[in-house]
């Protein structure tokens, strides 16, 4: 069966009725890069940059980060590499950040909230990302967004960083900028958010946690954690619709995107991209190649 999947390498991700989808890979460290290429990923849909911070006992420098982002961009040779900015807090703790202890870390100061309250940390990462963008097709993605104001503030900070780099005569590129949709608030205002960014990527791990009010870290709640809950599936459908109305694309980078039982449903919803662990790319491609989306829709009455 493995050998059969190997024959799918180099093929387009296109359904029997001609609908295309992008199949990208999630990576959590540099060692994953080899398997990304082996499995014929069309790009990297989620580069979890926090590993760069978690591996160290002090803040990584701009230069250290630049080297890593540049290496990824060059290795992917023109394919899109979506790098998510720092997403620590909650389940991912880093001592040298000296964060206050919180009663409710999943709802606390995490991800973009740290970046917006401590812009010096954010700016160092943005400088590295903008500089590395001159060496490949980097896109930046911001996690845990809940409002339009946050996105506007982020874009202002990016503009400031660009001006600083220009005035210092340092080369940089102009990456696409997207956001993760992983809070119910972001889902409900996805029509407004779509006007502000180049793409959406749905983080179903956190979105399920916040939509169902179930701590994703608590195994004793497994019986209540329904990964196929219609609330989450309807949210995905709504986000894709709002993205398309505004002319941008929407993908899924949470675990649900790799669920083979849902691949056809996602195709029917018009999901544009799935970012999954590298080993899932060819199995999903196989389903895509065997699906007739219009026929599937005709036999299915939605979520």
* Positions in the binding site for ligand PEP (CB under 6 A): 46, 48, 87, 182, 203-206, 253-254
DSSP-derived 3-state class of residue 231: helix
DSSP 14: B
- Would you give the binding string for Mg ion spanning residues 47-86, x where CB under 5 A is met? ----------------------------------------
Q: Is 89 in the site for Mg ion (CB under 5 A)?
A: no
- Would you give the binding string for Mg ion spanning residues 204-243, x where CB under 5 A is met? --x-------------------------------------
Q: Which residues contact 234 (CB under 8 A, 6 or more apart)?
A: 303
Among ligand PEP, Mg ion, none, what binds residue 253 when CB lies within 5 to 8 Å by partner kind? Answer: ligand PEP
Distance from C-alpha of 162 to C-alpha of 158, rounded to nearest angstrom = 6
Under 8 Å between Cβ of 141 and 201: yes
Nearest residue (CB) to ligand PEP, 19 versus 205: 205
Q: Is 203 in the site for Mg ion (CB under 5 A)?
A: yes
Residue 22's nearest CA partner among 43, 5, 36, 37 is 43
- Least gap, CB of 84 to ligand PEP (angstroms): 8
Name the one residue in this structure whose structure tokens are 């019986």: 223
- Least gap, CB of 50 to ligand PEP (angstroms): 8
Nearest residue (CB) to ligand PEP, 48 versus 286: 48
DSSP string, 199-229: EEEE-HHHHHHHHHT--TT-GGGGGG--TT-
Binding residues for Mg ion (CB under 5 A): 182, 203, 206
């Amino acid at each position: 069966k493995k050998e059969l999947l190997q024959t799918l390498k180099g093929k387009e991700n296109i359904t029997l009725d001609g609908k295309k989808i992008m199949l990208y890979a999630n990576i959590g460290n540099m060692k994953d890069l080899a398997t990304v290429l082996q499995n014929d990923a069309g790009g990297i849909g989620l580069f979890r940059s926090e590993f760069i911070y978690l591996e160290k006992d002090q803040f990584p420098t701009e230069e250290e980060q630049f080297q890593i982002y540049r290496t990824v961009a060059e290795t992917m040779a023109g394919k899109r590499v979506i790098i998510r900015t720092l997403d620590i807090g909650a389940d991912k703790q880093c001592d040298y950040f000296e964060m206050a202890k919180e009663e409710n870390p999943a709802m606390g100061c995490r991800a973009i909230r740290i970046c917006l309250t401590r812009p010096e940390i954010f700016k160092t990462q943005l400088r590295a990302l903008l500089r590395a963008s001159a060496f490949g097709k980097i896109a930046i993605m911001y996690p845990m967004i809940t409002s339009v104001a946050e996105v506007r503030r982020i874009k202002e900070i990016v503009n400031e960083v660009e001006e600083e780099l220009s005035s210092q005569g340092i080369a940089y590129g102009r990456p696409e900028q997207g956001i993760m949709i992983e809070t119910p608030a972001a889902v409900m205002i996805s029509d407004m958010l779509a006007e502000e960014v180049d793409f959406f990527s749905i983080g179903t791990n956190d979105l399920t946690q916040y939509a169902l009010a179930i701590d994703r870290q608590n195994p004793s709640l497994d019986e209540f954690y329904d990964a196929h809950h219609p609330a989450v599936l309807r949210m995905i459908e709504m986000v894709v619709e709002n993205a398309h109305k505004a002319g941008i694309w929407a993908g899924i980078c949470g675990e649900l995107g790799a669920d083979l039982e849902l691949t056809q449903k996602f195709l029917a919803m018009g999901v544009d991209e799935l970012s999954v662990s590298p080993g899932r790319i060819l199995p999903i491609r196989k389903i895509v190649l065997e699906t007739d989306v219009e026929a599937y829709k005709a036999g299915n009455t939605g979520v």
